[in-house]
Protein backbone atom coordinates (compact mmCIF):
# COMPACT_ATOMS: atom_id res chain seq x y z
CA UNK A 1 0.00 0.00 0.00
CA UNK A 2 1.06 3.51 -0.72
CA UNK A 3 0.62 5.64 2.42
CA UNK A 4 2.23 8.76 0.96
CA UNK A 5 -0.66 11.15 1.51
CA UNK A 6 -0.53 14.87 0.91
CA UNK A 7 -1.34 17.33 3.67
CA UNK A 8 -4.77 18.00 2.16
CA UNK A 9 -5.58 14.28 1.93
CA UNK A 10 -4.45 13.70 5.52
CA UNK A 11 -6.58 16.61 6.70
CA UNK A 12 -9.57 15.28 4.78
CA UNK A 13 -9.30 11.80 6.32
CA UNK A 14 -8.75 13.23 9.81
CA UNK A 15 -11.84 15.45 9.43
CA UNK A 16 -13.98 12.56 8.16
CA UNK A 17 -12.81 10.37 11.05
CA UNK A 18 -13.58 13.04 13.67
CA UNK A 19 -17.02 13.68 12.15
CA UNK A 20 -17.78 9.95 12.09
CA UNK A 21 -16.64 9.58 15.69
CA UNK A 22 -18.81 12.55 16.75
CA UNK A 23 -21.91 11.22 14.99
CA UNK A 24 -21.45 7.78 16.55
CA UNK A 25 -20.81 8.93 20.11
CA UNK A 26 -23.22 11.88 20.28
CA UNK A 27 -26.40 9.81 20.96
CA UNK A 28 -24.69 8.00 23.84
CA UNK A 29 -23.41 11.23 25.38
CA UNK A 30 -26.86 12.79 24.99
CA UNK A 31 -28.52 9.79 26.65
CA UNK A 32 -26.12 9.85 29.59
CA UNK A 33 -26.08 13.62 30.23
CA UNK A 34 -29.71 14.63 29.53
CA UNK A 35 -31.74 13.65 32.62
CA UNK A 36 -35.23 13.17 31.07
CA UNK A 37 -33.78 10.91 28.37
CA UNK A 38 -31.81 8.97 30.98
CA UNK A 39 -34.97 8.38 33.05
CA UNK A 40 -36.90 7.08 30.04
CA UNK A 41 -34.06 4.76 29.02
CA UNK A 42 -33.74 3.42 32.57
CA UNK A 43 -37.50 2.79 32.50
CA UNK A 44 -37.04 0.60 29.43
CA UNK A 45 -34.79 -1.83 31.29
CA UNK A 46 -36.97 -4.89 32.00
CA UNK A 47 -35.38 -5.82 35.33
CA UNK A 48 -36.57 -2.63 37.07
CA UNK A 49 -39.52 -2.93 39.47
CA UNK A 50 -42.69 -0.92 38.81
CA UNK A 51 -42.77 0.58 42.30
CA UNK A 52 -39.29 2.05 41.85
CA UNK A 53 -40.28 3.65 38.52
CA UNK A 54 -43.51 5.03 39.94
CA UNK A 55 -41.70 6.52 42.95
CA UNK A 56 -39.12 8.16 40.68
CA UNK A 57 -41.74 9.62 38.34
CA UNK A 58 -43.77 11.05 41.23
CA UNK A 59 -40.69 12.47 42.96
CA UNK A 60 -39.30 14.06 39.80
CA UNK A 61 -42.60 15.15 38.27
CA UNK A 62 -41.92 13.49 34.92
CA UNK A 63 -45.61 13.23 34.12
CA UNK A 64 -46.29 16.91 34.67
CA UNK A 65 -43.57 18.04 32.24
CA UNK A 66 -43.88 15.51 29.44
CA UNK A 67 -47.56 14.66 29.71
CA UNK A 68 -46.94 10.91 29.66
CA UNK A 69 -45.28 8.44 31.98
CA UNK A 70 -44.40 4.94 30.91
CA UNK A 71 -45.29 2.38 33.57
CA UNK A 72 -44.79 -1.32 33.80
CA UNK A 73 -46.96 -3.55 35.98
CA UNK A 74 -45.46 -6.73 37.31
CA UNK A 75 -47.87 -9.25 38.76
CA UNK A 76 -46.59 -11.51 41.48
CA UNK A 77 -48.44 -14.63 42.56
CA UNK A 78 -48.06 -15.72 46.18
Does the predicted model carry a pTM greater than 0.75? no
Handedness of CA 46, 47, 51, 55 (dihedral sign): negative
Contact in structure between 49 and 74 (CB atoms under 8 Å): yes
7-33 vs 35-43: helix crossing angle, rounded to 10: 70
**Are 45 and 11 contained in the same domain?**
no
Ordered per-residue pLDDT tens for the chain, 78 residues: 677 889 999 999 999 999 999 999 998 888 888 888 888 888 888 875 555 555 555 555 555 444 455 555 555 555
Exposed, middle or buried by CB within 10 Å (0-12, 13-18, 19+), for 56? middle
**Are 27 and 10 contained in the same domain?**
yes
How many domains does one find in the chain? 2
**Are 44 and 77 contained in the same domain?**
yes
Amino acid sequence: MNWNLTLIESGYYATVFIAFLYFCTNPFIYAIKFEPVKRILVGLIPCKKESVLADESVATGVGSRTGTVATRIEKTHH
